A and B are shown apart, each in its own frame.
Chain A
Amino acid sequence: MIAERKHSISDARIKEPSFETLYHTYAQRILALAYRMTFNRQTAEDLTQDIFIKIYQKLGEFRGDAHIFTWIYRIAINHILNFLKKQKRERWLRILDLPIREAWQHEAPIEFEIADDTPSPLHQLETKEVQYLVRQEILKLPPKYRAPFVLHRYEKLSHKEIADILNISVSAVETRIHRATKQLVAALEKKLKE
């Protein structure tokens, strides 16, 4: 439902948007994006809050020379990427505090949730296992590959839209999505062979 709303939103050029309009149009989509980048409900909610605080404060700077959609997604994705960088740095600092033997074996647990809307119990188990596996692998992707992959596959944005949001070329977007997919498929195939 969220993805279906995209085009009617992105096609519209809003010159002087009100915060309420933006919130009602984009809040749920930004929450979904944050969730798909972190697979953690609370983190997604916190990120959405921070992103909309930024949007509120920067609204006066929006000049209307870009799609409001691009502007909002740029703020959102930059904020999420900064959060992931900070998270990675903090994880390393935690590892540095561990005794050497523990640090050597340490792999930070990845915290995320599993969606609970699948049909039969058997099918549910298998689907959840696969979903868990893929999410683990997505979280292992470098954020610069994860962002275009999520934006393209789950947010259903075109390569051009992603290029505008990330401020990179379309070919760079394609390369990153391709590499991300390749890494995920390799991990899945390896798991299937086990």
Chain B
Amino acid sequence: MTNHVNHMFVSWYSGTLPEKEKAAVDAHLQQCKDCRLYFQEMAAALDSAGEIPGDLTLPQGFPTRIRALAEAKRPPRFSLPAAIRWGIIALAAVASGIALGEITYTYTRSDVIITAFQEEYESLNAQVTLSEAANELGFIAGGNNED
């Protein structure tokens, strides 16, 4: 490989070069000072950004603080004795039954009321003719006269 390989730096640094090509680039870097310098400087510059300050450490007591915060944020978890749990379930079932009964009763009752209303309405209709009703409401000229 006689040509410079600077254009291969990105793949070389990313670790995406196939093994054979990487070996060829590495071999070239052994011989070519310019390319070697470019690779070294570029890699050093990119690597420098990952340096960690020497005193970057977590403060003392950090795990205790985390534990306390985690417990405070956790939704409360407690279990009731089995008898109370079953009692609550039974009460819920009874309440559901009552609610269901109430709904059924109301529905049935409203059905009865509607039926009674319809019957009443039909009996009224039977006694009042359409023209009488229209006359009463003033839809027919001459209707609703003063006699």
Contact = CB atoms under 8 A, between A and B. Distances in A.
Given A56-B66, A57-B74, A153 B47 contact: yes
A154 interface: yes
A152 B48 contact: no
A45 B63 CA distance: 12
B48 A177 contact: no
Contacts of B3: none
Interface stretch (B54-62, B108-116, B127-135): B54-62
Contact of A35 (B56, B62, B65, B70): B56
Contact of B45 (A36, A39, A134): A134
Nearest to A132: B49
Interface of A: 2, 19-20, 23, 27-28, 31-32, 35-36, 39, 41, 44-45, 48-49, 52-53, 56-57, 113, 115-117, 127, 130-131, 133-135, 138, 150, 152-154, 159, 174, 177-178, 181-182, 184-185, 188
Given A49-B65, A134-B45, A153-B46, A57 B53 contact: no
6 contacts: A19-B67, A27-B58, A115-B54, A138-B49, A159-B15, A188-B46
Nearest to B53: A115
Contacts of A133: 45
Given A57-B73, A177-B16, A35 B52 contact: yes
Interface residues of B, number: 31
Interface in B63-113: 63, 65-67, 69-70, 73-74
Given A178-B10, A182-B10, A153 B50 contact: yes
Interface of B is mostly: helix
Q: Which 10 A/B pairs are nearest by Cβ-Cβ distance?
A: A154-B50, A134-B49, A56-B70, A115-B51, A131-B48, A53-B70, A178-B14, A177-B14, A52-B66, A174-B16
Contacts of B50: 36, 150, 153-154
Contact of B69 (A44, A53, A184): A53
A138 B51 CA distance: 13
